[in-house]
Amino acid sequence: MLPILDKNFQKEYALLSLLDSDERYFSCQELADKLGLSERTIYKYLQNLTGQLKHYPAEELAIERSTALGIRLQRAPWLSIHSVYTSLARQSLTYDFFHSLFLETTDTTTAFCLAHFISSASLYRALSPMRETLAAFSLTLDAADMRLDGGEMQIRYFYNNFYLQIYRGYAWPFPSISRQLVMNAIDDISGALDAPMSISDRKHFSYWLAVIAHRLSLRHCLTTPLPAELGLDNEAYHTALPAIQRFFQRLHLPASPAECQFIFYLLHAFPFGMNVQQRLFAAARDVRGFDCLPLTATDHFLAVFARYFPQWMGMGSPSFRLKLHRLHFHGALLSGSSDLLERYPFLKSYRQNFPAFAQRMDKLFASLAPHSCGRCFADERYLLPHYILLCSQYFDLAAGEPLIRLALLTDYGPIYEEKIKKEILSRFGDDFHLQFVTPQGTCSHYDILITNLPVKIVTAGHLTLSIHTAFNQREWNLLAQLLRRRQAQI
């Protein structure tokens, strides 16, 4: 996520998220240990959060504190905790600064600091975490002159992410732009393409159009048409063009070819509906009828993919290719970060869970760039997590890992042993490539033996787990450790 919250707000929201992670009482010591804070600081943050939540009815959202039981968050099932994040973000100095920068309501840093009763040094310290994030968008911050330096497309991309992260499309932080006019324009464009958008897609697209309109109203324009190799000169573009032009006309803004092309291009580069993108990608050929650069990039990716994952070729559905097209349209023109790592914890642990897959993905990505469409593969920070997530959606990642053979040697009988096998697969089948085998005499064709027999069974080169009458939590944890150890050995 973008580091929008100020330092104290970050800790307070982390505390709130921890309380929200389980419907139980937490001790102050437990909260302090998990957040790396002192108990005194925890109490201070709890006091601040209690004040932040006062405008919520107690039955909707409240922090309950009990001397005997501990601390617990009471939240109505229908209420989103993100509303608290929005409130904290709007109070942050970082939000005020970048919102002022976007609206261009403050001319100098001195004026901003005077209005917020802070020194320039304090402002620069508060903005420091955002500088690395801006670099991912190929932007730099000139705080002294209240200016973002970089390409106009990238500035728009950053602000779309900035506002979308805070408001999720539900509030409207663009005072000079009519939301109704923007929504009418989206209906007009999607109607021309005969591809209606979902509510969430319309909200996302509305932020894009509002950011574009506001930047244009301040005379921050795109002056150069998009490259011909992107394949925009096609029947779909000419079908949508009148609706795109009407959007600019209704807001009394110049409808230059570059601006019209950019709006049309966004429909290719972001997930605004599979129906519309099927048509757009089918139309995206150059004037000679050949694939344009991003579509060629997909063909190149699949060719390289086949070398590293031959067992998966032909298994992906047509939507797998369509999603690759979208990623490559994105990579051909834009660079930036995403919040995939926050939304999918799997991406933080996949290297540990699927080391063979991770190693091959690294090699695959390194093999992509030396190609005529290499610009589509330049943004590793954005593309690699999306590639990994796509593979996890369409393929069994565990099947690509080394096979671990499990053997059961118990006196439970076949019915209960089958039950144990199903439970083991349900717990670990997504993370390990498992196969059950039958132990045969002294020949040990297994990697891990699971037994409840009251004798010591240890064979060189193999692992043994002894269980009691059934698996308890300690034994499940031990099995996970043995699986991880065996995976590392193979």
For residues 39-53, one letter each, b for 16 or more C-beta atoms within 10 angstroms of the residue's C-beta and e for the rest, the string is eebbeebbebbeebb
Third-level CATH fold of 7-79 = Arc Repressor Mutant, subunit A (1.10.10)
> How far apart, in whole angstroms, are the C-alpha atoms of residue 261 and residue 280?
13
CB 391 within 8 A of CB 301: no
| pTM, to two decimals | 0.86
**Three-class secondary structure of residue 339 per DSSP:** coil
The CA-based diameter of the chain, rounded to the nearest angstrom, is 85
Burial class (CB in 10 A: 0-12, 13-18, 19+), 330: buried
Work out the number of other CB atoms within 10 angstroms of the CB of residue 398.
Answer: 19
How wide is the angle at C-alpha 281 spanned by C-alphas 305 and 197, nearest 5°?
115
> How far apart, in whole angstroms, are the C-alpha atoms of residue 88 and residue 49?
10
Third-level CATH fold of 402-488 = Rossmann fold (3.40.50)
Tabulate helix, strand, coil % of the chain (nearest 5): 60, 10, 30
Residuewise pLDDT in 10s, the chain (490 residues): 788 988 889 999 999 999 998 889 999 999 999 999 899 999 999 999 998 888 888 888 999 988 889 999 999 889 888 989 999 999 999 999 999 999 998 888 999 999 999 999 999 999 999 998 899 999 999 988 888 999 999 999 999 999 999 999 889 999 999 999 999 999 999 999 998 899 999 999 999 999 999 999 999 999 899 998 898 989 999 999 999 999 999 999 999 999 999 999 999 999 988 888 888 998 887 555 567 899 999 999 999 999 999 888 776 678 899 999 999 999 999 998 777 877 888 888 888 888 889 999 999 999 998 888 889 999 999 999 999 999 998 988 888 888 889 988 888 778 888 888 999 999 888 888 898 988 765 556 888 888 888 777 777 778 888 887 778 888 899 999 999 888 877 7
Domain assignments of the chain as residue spans, ordered by start: 7-79, 92-150, 179-285, 290-399, 402-488
Strands 433-437 and 448-451: unpaired
> How far apart, in whole angstroms, are the C-alpha atoms of residue 89 and residue 44?
19
Structure token pair of residue 171? 């509030």
> How far apart, in whole angstroms, are the C-alpha atoms of residue 239 and residue 258?
16
Structure token pair of residue 480? 């996970």
| Among 365, 436, 425, 356, CA closest to 397 | 356
